[in-house]
Structure 1
Amino acid sequence: MIYLHTPSENPYSFLEECLSPDDESPLKFFNLSKLHDDRYDRLPFSIRVLLESATRNCDSFHFRESDVQAILDWKCTQRDSVEIPFKPSRVLLQDFTGVPAVVDFAAMRDAIKRLGGDPESINPVCPVDLVIDHSIQVDSNRTPDSLQKNQQFELERNKERFVFLKWGSSALRELRIVPPGSGIVHQVNLEFLARVVFIQDGYLYPDSLVGTDSHTTMINGLGVLGWGVGGIEAEAVMLGQPISMVLPEVVGYHLVGSVNSIATSTDVVLTITKNLRQLGVVGKFVEFFGPGVAELSIADRATISNMCPEYGATVGFFPPDAATLEYLRQTGRDESRIQIIETYLKAVKMYRDYTNSTQDPEYSQVVELDLESVVPSISGPKRPQDQVPVDSMKGDFQKCLANKVCFKGFQVSPKKLAATVSFSFEGAEFELHHGSVVIAAITSCTNTSNPSVMLGAGLLAKKAVEAGLTVKPYIKTSLSPGSGVVTDYLKSADVMPALRTLGFELVGYGCMTCIGNSGPLPEAVIQAINQEDLVVCGVLSGNRNFEGRIHPHTRANYLASPPLVIAYAIAGTVNIDFNVEPLGLDRNGEPLFLRDIWPSRKEIEEVERQHVLPAMFMKVYSSIQDGNDNWNSLKAPHGMLYPWDASSTYIKSPPFFHDMTREEPPLQPINKAHVLLYLGDSVTTDHISPAGSIARNSPAARYLQERGISPRDFNTYGARRGNDAVMARGTFANIRLLNKLVGQTGPHTVHLPSGETMSVFEAAERYARDGQPLVVLAGKDYGSGSSRDWAAKGPFLLGVRAVLAQSFERIHRSNLIGMGIIPLEFASGESAETLGLTGRERYTINLPADLRPRMLVTIQIDVGKSFQVTARFDTDVELVYFRHGGILNYMIRQILKSST
């Protein structure tokens, strides 16, 4: 902790005691049971973690006694928007979001030095793990050397980034790099990094974390409280600052029954996602309880927790129980440590028996799901919450084709519904239709952490191959599991040969197709799609399927369990009813239905018992930090300050602190701002700051070409997050962005003074030359999706000073404030449409000197109209960050003050 005062004695030190007093070096902990307060026993388990943090860190400055009492009195304070601090135990980064965090640390060191401070004062003060998992792409597939080729391409494209991260691992204390090829960050976190209980400086306390990826929530399945934050907020935690948060409501999700024999954990999570999204849990915790939880494995629970961003909650928490401890054993954790964990959790009443209802806490509200009612499902074609039972899929897709353009519609004209395109591929003739599958990927952290669905896919593949079924060669099939452990147990179960036969060759260990790193489709397939503007499909075992994310040419994308990914790949289309239509013909020419080869849950469980072994986890993770030959061959610079290379197109010193002064700047109004974009509902961070490929006709492409970079080496926006010039040009560059100023999809806007239509970046450049501030108009759920800090940094660099929306996604709202952008919310029932706004007005926003959280602010527009909106600063701390121009500016100034 970086203290700007002298911390006082902890008023809760009386809770301190030794876990085993007779030990030579006894471990201490804060025993909340010694509060002797009945309210503690009724608190949700997730809230108990927040309470423990507040009592242990209580210093009458960052953490006050009133904070402890507010949390303890949660039943009464939960709906009062009470602000509390929380200090996570650690921070988790992936390389897409981690690189800019390390870039910011390097730039902050430069700024501290320029302003007369000590650069070494900029260091993480808590454990930080950065897992390189988002850089690898599916360039090669269906060949035995695909893994080797893709890893080589990954190194060639990302060498500068990897060298920079190597510098960071040696220059920054507490930063550990998990090299590429080790697995997906959330699965590595689950299988290796998670402690469940921290042992630090002689104290025990709950493991907790924040991560710069939305799906950090996956770790809640292991009983570890964690969620995604913006990179900017994570950097503040790395610098020792607690998170300021509003004490949340907690929805109790009561699970009963058992999953039936044909449903999977993926089906369970898609059902829960739909239910909770309809219920509305944004900004809330969800905590699972009931006897049904005891029927779920840790992998099942982690799958449910992983999808938490898709149902909108902050966390989906499963308190630790006997299954948690058994999972730690299965994954090779030390037995003596497991014993300490169990003793501690029981002592502080954070250990659950899900079959004992007397342990059930009080919740804000309770909803229930009978697991027996879950049916095989997929979700799409554009959002994770749009669940479709497999039995209804054919009819649903046909409706989507005809529906007007929306989340469930493509508005294909009646004349085009039966469109067919013939094409040649590898010497054979094929046809594409609406609904044809062109990408089938077993990928992402969501499902590849779960042996039951991975082995289920393997068993289905084995039966399919034995029956003589195949997958058409033009379909881009791939297998990118979350860790090497998956490969080991698939090999042990002897299902890898069948997966390879169907085209699901191992292509890498990383977040590949799910993040948009699906690589190129065959040119013949692209031409066929374009010829009739076909709505073709991607089917993947991932957690996100927003428009333009998976691949620019797959307009429909469906989330499915790994077995269903294979089934739809074999069928070659989503326009099929598996109940009445066969997958294909078997070796005897007889129709073969999906039900004929679908493995039962009991069958899968037996294989899992035999082939998922602790020794596999110990083997894979014993040498995880050793890296591979490619990683180890990289030579990184040394030194406290990073030697920026002006010619680098990957790593560049950002301009955020170039003009920064030691003193807080005065609050400035926004005068006569133009609207840069007028957007609708559910604009995601994929729309604002794409992570996928860089289009060859884009401003970012022109920037790279001017520096001698050929299109084949453009890489992705995600990989180039360390270069602000690329990322500013890539802001609002999604091909599916719908800007109402233009009226059609694409990354364009109208430069209002001239009336010309141009790229968003070019318009922003013109406005900047004229010194004109900008605002963005939007609808509901602005900034949903991945927790991308560049979705706030990019607009800031374009000159956006405020976003006016009907509602904001939690993480993105925080990121906007972290960059000094004002999130403004229309009054309830009001919107740009109801107020008659066109986006062509000019907006003046006067901020009062006594600006307070959630204060009403008046907006005046140049057509003689004014209206009030809410300034969405939810806490005093957020307001302080904003006044300093952002959270990192605040931290630099505070560190400078503390050293003088």
Structure 2
Amino acid sequence: MAARLMSAQAQVCRLGKHVVAEAPVVRQFHASCYTASKVALSKFDSDVFLPYEKLNKRLEVVRGRLNRPLTLSEKVLYSHLDDPANQDIVRGTSYLRLRPDRVAMQDATAQMALLQFISSGLKKVAVPSTVHCDHLMGGATETLGWIRDVKKGDKNTIVTSYNRNFTGRNDANPATHCFVTSPELVTALSIAGRLDFNPLTDELTGSDGKKFKLKAPFGDELPAQGFDPGQDTYTAPPASGENVKVAVDPKSTRLQLLEPFDKWNGKDLEDLTVLIKVKGKCTTDHISAAGPWLKYRGHLDNISNNMFIGATNYENNEMNNIKNQRNGSWGGVPDVARDYKANGIKWVAVGDENYGEGSSREHAALEPRHLGGRAIIVKSFARIHETNLKKQGLLPLTFANPADYDKIQPTSKISLLNLNSLAPGKPVECEVKNGSKVDKITLNHTLNDLQIGWFKAGSALNRMKELAQ
């Protein structure tokens, strides 16, 4: 049997009137008794059924090509390939073209995804799509702790029961240390109000002045009567969305309808200004900080005010302080980028190794594009962020010779040449101008034919709209 998850409950599978098997419940990709059953895709799609037979056929094609055992993850992915017979399959290299039957989006990224989709002008999604709100629930159940005013730069500690423990995530303070532990211990430390509290041995003082100890936590591993499904507030959409308009208050600071990004004009990108040359580590959190900024996830212009504020400027070893090459003033990175955009100046950002590691936060790609960026040139990329840049129509480029990073200065002008002949595997010619000196360097990319189409159209969504017309 292929991938399967066992349950303690038994289930009888019948074909017609004949009992085929009585065994523990098994979820699997192929077994005739299960594929013969009609299972709804979701409670919202009662007349659309899980396509076990189709998934199994795709999987068998891939199994025959690879001729080796497949992991569970591989079975899930490969059974959803759009063209399993011809799909290039190389671990860590290939971009898989998938054809899912439903898309379930996490709320943190879905908000911007929905706004982007609206901006594309497409009438409807290709497959049913839903948003689940784990962050809304998590905010109520997991963020236990005591709150006090802490100035940025002051040492602080936050203890949480969920894995948002990287620098600045919870309070935008780089001096805050974040630790992950159990919900029980977070609760105990919150009640005590100090980090060295040991609930096994230490006492607390009640309002009556008496000493007491916390009892050890207890409870059922699973609720005896099952989980409360909660209140179903789902409202079905209209059968046709042709006449539906999404109204967003133009005064809103948290939601903003978007305009499609501009299409590439077919010309080389010449004399681009260097917005910032980043020194050292640059994660998606350095590019688009979290913490208090997360409330602007649905407002691209407002959240763009955090762009690169955590990145270290090569020129002065400072964060969020760069020189405006247009007028010679110094300012925050977003402010300078906005000045460039207002004056029609296109720019690039230059980075170090593993640029964009960490969270797959799409805002870290949206913000540079929104504020006038055209390319990101680095020594190497974190793979997911590199793909996010491609989707927004930015050129993610890497130095063929990493030492060429040193040839680019904050005052340099960058030209990306012969873009009309941009092709998979073909390096990009680049000229770096420092005054009267011109260095010619080579930049590599991993764009495939599909992604080059995204760049030319201005974004992946722009390209989808072109194909739909």
- TM-score range (shorter-chain normalised) is 0.7 to 0.9
CA distances 1:626-664 after superposition (whole Å, capped 9, x unpaired): 27xxx9xxxxx994222343333333221225x66xxxx
The structure-2 alpha-carbon separation of the partners of 1:20 and 1:744, relative to structure 1 and needing over 3 Å to count, comes to: closer
SS at match of 2:79: helix
The structure-2 alpha-carbon separation of the partners of 1:806 and 1:542, relative to structure 1 and needing over 3 Å to count, comes to: farther
The reply on whether 1:48 has 2:75 as its aligned counterpart is yes
* Aligned equivalent of 1:549: 169
Alpha-carbon offset, residue 677 of structure 1: 1.2
CA distances 1:747-790 after superposition (whole Å, capped 9, x unpaired): 33210233211122321233234322101011122222222222
Alpha-carbon offset, residue 21 of structure 1: 9.0
Asked whether the equivalents of residues 401 and 442 of structure 2 are also in contact (C-alpha less than 8 Å), the reply is no
Count residues in correspondence.
412
* Aligned equivalent of 1:85: 97
* Aligned equivalent of 1:647: 251
Alpha-carbon offset, residue 732 of structure 1: 2.6
Alpha-carbon offset, residue 82 of structure 1: 4.2
Q: Which amino acid aligns with 2:283?
A: T
Asked whether the equivalents of residues 550 and 557 of structure 1 are also in contact (C-alpha less than 8 Å), the reply is no
Q: Which amino acid aligns with 1:718?
A: L
* Aligned equivalent of 2:466: 893
- Partner residue of 2:291 out of 679, 692, 716: 692
- Partner residue of 2:181 out of 539, 557, 561: 561
Asked whether the equivalents of residues 275 and 349 of structure 2 are also in contact (C-alpha less than 8 Å), the reply is yes
Q: Which amino acid aligns with 1:783?
A: G
* Aligned equivalent of 1:667: 266
Alpha-carbon offset, residue 888 of structure 1: 0.6
Alpha-carbon offset, residue 869 of structure 1: 4.0
* Aligned equivalent of 1:744: 318
CA distances 1:305-360 after superposition (whole Å, capped 9, x unpaired): xxxxxxxxxxxxxxxxxxxxxxxxxxxxxxxxxxxxxxxxxxxxxxxxxxxxxxxx
Asked whether the equivalents of residues 100 and 722 of structure 1 are also in contact (C-alpha less than 8 Å), the reply is yes
The structure-2 alpha-carbon separation of the partners of 1:584 and 1:534, relative to structure 1 and needing over 3 Å to count, comes to: farther
- C-alpha distance in 2 between matches for 1:543 and 1:24: 38
CA distances 1:277-318 after superposition (whole Å, capped 9, x unpaired): xxxxxxxxxxxxxxxxxxxxxxxxxxxxxxxxxxxxxxxxxx
Alpha-carbon offset, residue 800 of structure 1: 0.9
- Gap runs ≥5 in structure 2: 1-28, 40-48, 206-212, 236-240
Q: Which moved more, 1:17-26 or 1:644-653?
A: 17-26
- C-alpha distance in 1 between matches for 2:204 and 2:341: 67
* Aligned equivalent of 1:732: 308
- Partner residue of 2:85 out of 65, 87, 90: 65
The structure-2 alpha-carbon separation of the partners of 1:550 and 1:34, relative to structure 1 and needing over 3 Å to count, comes to: closer
- C-alpha distance in 1 between matches for 2:70 and 2:215: 43
SS at match of 1:549: coil
Alpha-carbon offset, residue 566 of structure 1: 5.6
The structure-2 alpha-carbon separation of the partners of 1:21 and 1:763, relative to structure 1 and needing over 3 Å to count, comes to: closer
Alpha-carbon offset, residue 856 of structure 1: 1.7
- C-alpha distance in 2 between matches for 1:49 and 1:133: 23
SS at match of 1:849: helix
The structure-2 alpha-carbon separation of the partners of 1:666 and 1:769, relative to structure 1 and needing over 3 Å to count, comes to: closer
The structure-2 alpha-carbon separation of the partners of 1:585 and 1:721, relative to structure 1 and needing over 3 Å to count, comes to: closer
SS at match of 2:254: coil
The reply on whether 1:128 has 2:129 as its aligned counterpart is yes
* Aligned equivalent of 1:537: 157
The reply on whether 1:797 has 2:370 as its aligned counterpart is yes
* Aligned equivalent of 2:110: 98
SS at match of 1:868: strand
Q: Which amino acid aligns with 1:66?
A: N
- Partner residue of 2:295 out of 709, 719, 729: 719
Q: Which amino acid aligns with 2:232?
A: Q
The structure-2 alpha-carbon separation of the partners of 1:766 and 1:21, relative to structure 1 and needing over 3 Å to count, comes to: closer
Asked whether the equivalents of residues 857 and 869 of structure 1 are also in contact (C-alpha less than 8 Å), the reply is yes
* Aligned equivalent of 1:522: 148
The structure-2 alpha-carbon separation of the partners of 1:804 and 1:17, relative to structure 1 and needing over 3 Å to count, comes to: same
* Aligned equivalent of 2:22: none
Asked whether the equivalents of residues 679 and 779 of structure 1 are also in contact (C-alpha less than 8 Å), the reply is yes
The structure-2 alpha-carbon separation of the partners of 1:859 and 1:97, relative to structure 1 and needing over 3 Å to count, comes to: same
- C-alpha distance in 2 between matches for 1:885 and 1:21: 42
1:282-297 alignment, distance < 5 Å: none
Asked whether the equivalents of residues 267 and 419 of structure 2 are also in contact (C-alpha less than 8 Å), the reply is no
- C-alpha distance in 2 between matches for 1:598 and 1:846: 70
* Aligned equivalent of 1:625: 232
The structure-2 alpha-carbon separation of the partners of 1:28 and 1:806, relative to structure 1 and needing over 3 Å to count, comes to: closer
CA distances 1:812-836 after superposition (whole Å, capped 9, x unpaired): 211111111111112364362xx34
SS at match of 2:73: helix
Alpha-carbon offset, residue 676 of structure 1: 0.8
1:439-588 alignment, distance < 5 Å: 508-509=140-141, 521-523=147-149, 526=150, 534-553=154-173, 555-562=175-182, 565=186, 572-573=194-195, 585-586=202-203
The structure-2 alpha-carbon separation of the partners of 1:742 and 1:799, relative to structure 1 and needing over 3 Å to count, comes to: farther
Q: Which amino acid aligns with 2:461?
A: L
SS at match of 1:539: strand
Alpha-carbon offset, residue 719 of structure 1: 2.4
CA distances 1:497-530 after superposition (whole Å, capped 9, x unpaired): xxxxxxxxxxx147x58xxxx8x9434xx3xx67
CA distances 1:585-617 after superposition (whole Å, capped 9, x unpaired): 5489xxxxxxx9998xxxx9xx66x44126332
The reply on whether 1:679 has 2:315 as its aligned counterpart is no
The reply on whether 1:862 has 2:438 as its aligned counterpart is no
SS at match of 2:441: strand
- C-alpha distance in 2 between matches for 1:853 and 1:97: 29
SS at match of 1:786: coil
Asked whether the equivalents of residues 670 and 845 of structure 1 are also in contact (C-alpha less than 8 Å), the reply is yes
Alpha-carbon offset, residue 887 of structure 1: 0.1
Q: Which amino acid aligns with 2:329?
A: E
- C-alpha distance in 1 between matches for 2:66 and 2:345: 54
Q: Which amino acid aligns with 2:357?
A: S
Asked whether the equivalents of residues 93 and 131 of structure 1 are also in contact (C-alpha less than 8 Å), the reply is yes
- % of aligned pairs identical? 22
Where relative contact order (Cα < 8 A, 6+ residues apart) is larger, the structure is: 1
- C-alpha distance in 1 between matches for 2:38 and 2:165: 54
The reply on whether 1:852 has 2:423 as its aligned counterpart is yes
Asked whether the equivalents of residues 571 and 583 of structure 1 are also in contact (C-alpha less than 8 Å), the reply is no
- C-alpha distance in 2 between matches for 1:104 and 1:827: 33
More helix as a share of residues: 1
Asked whether the equivalents of residues 172 and 290 of structure 2 are also in contact (C-alpha less than 8 Å), the reply is no
- C-alpha distance in 1 between matches for 2:389 and 2:367: 10
- C-alpha distance in 1 between matches for 2:186 and 2:404: 40
1:376-455 alignment, distance < 5 Å: none
The reply on whether 1:757 has 2:302 as its aligned counterpart is no
Alpha-carbon offset, residue 674 of structure 1: 1.3
SS at match of 1:85: coil
SS at match of 1:740: coil
Asked whether the equivalents of residues 391 and 459 of structure 2 are also in contact (C-alpha less than 8 Å), the reply is yes
* Aligned equivalent of 2:339: 766
Q: Which moved more, 1:94-103 or 1:878-887?
A: 94-103
Asked whether the equivalents of residues 105 and 122 of structure 1 are also in contact (C-alpha less than 8 Å), the reply is no
SS at match of 1:543: coil
Alpha-carbon offset, residue 534 of structure 1: 4.1
- C-alpha distance in 2 between matches for 1:692 and 1:783: 18
- C-alpha distance in 2 between matches for 1:645 and 1:571: 42
- C-alpha distance in 2 between matches for 1:666 and 1:861: 22
* Aligned equivalent of 1:368: none
Asked whether the equivalents of residues 858 and 868 of structure 1 are also in contact (C-alpha less than 8 Å), the reply is yes
Asked whether the equivalents of residues 95 and 131 of structure 1 are also in contact (C-alpha less than 8 Å), the reply is yes
The reply on whether 1:841 has 2:412 as its aligned counterpart is yes
* Aligned equivalent of 1:29: 53
